[in-house]
């Protein structure tokens, strides 16, 4: 999976959790919570969906690595690829 594909997965999850949010024109390097009306429960829902739908565990200490779309892609792309490879 590429970083762009990873960003798309994250956007799809956000779209499910916060369907009223306008995801067009998001800055990829700005914190998602600074651009969208996401609270801590929404953020936990994102983490839970990553685990439930994609088998990706995100330890609590790594939550700050999911701040922006760019940081999500940087952190999650190797995890997606490891899951895909069966690691």
Q: List, in order of start, the domains of the chain with CATH numbers.
A: 3-84 (1.10.1200.10)
pLDDT at 87: 61
Query: The dihedral of CA 84, 73, 18, 59: what is its sign?
Result: positive
pLDDT at 34: 92
The DSSP symbol for 57 reads -
pLDDT digits (tens, 9 = 90+) for 38-87: 999 999 999 999 999 999 999 999 999 999 999 999 999 999 999 988 86
What is the C-alpha separation between 17 and 9, in angstroms, rounded?
13
pLDDT digits (tens, 9 = 90+) for 10-35: 999 999 999 999 999 899 999 999 99
């Amino acid at each position: 999976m590429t970083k762009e594909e990873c960003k798309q997965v994250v956007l799809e999850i956000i779209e499910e959790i916060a369907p009223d949010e306008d995801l067009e024109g998001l800055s990829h390097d700005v914190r998602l919570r600074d651009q969208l009306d996401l609270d801590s429960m929404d953020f936990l829902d994102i983490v839970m969906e990553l685990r439930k739908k994609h088998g990706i565990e995100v330890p609590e200490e790594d939550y700050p690595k999911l701040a922006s779309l760019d940081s999500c892609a940087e952190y999650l792309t190797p995890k997606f690829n490891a899951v895909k490879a069966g690691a």
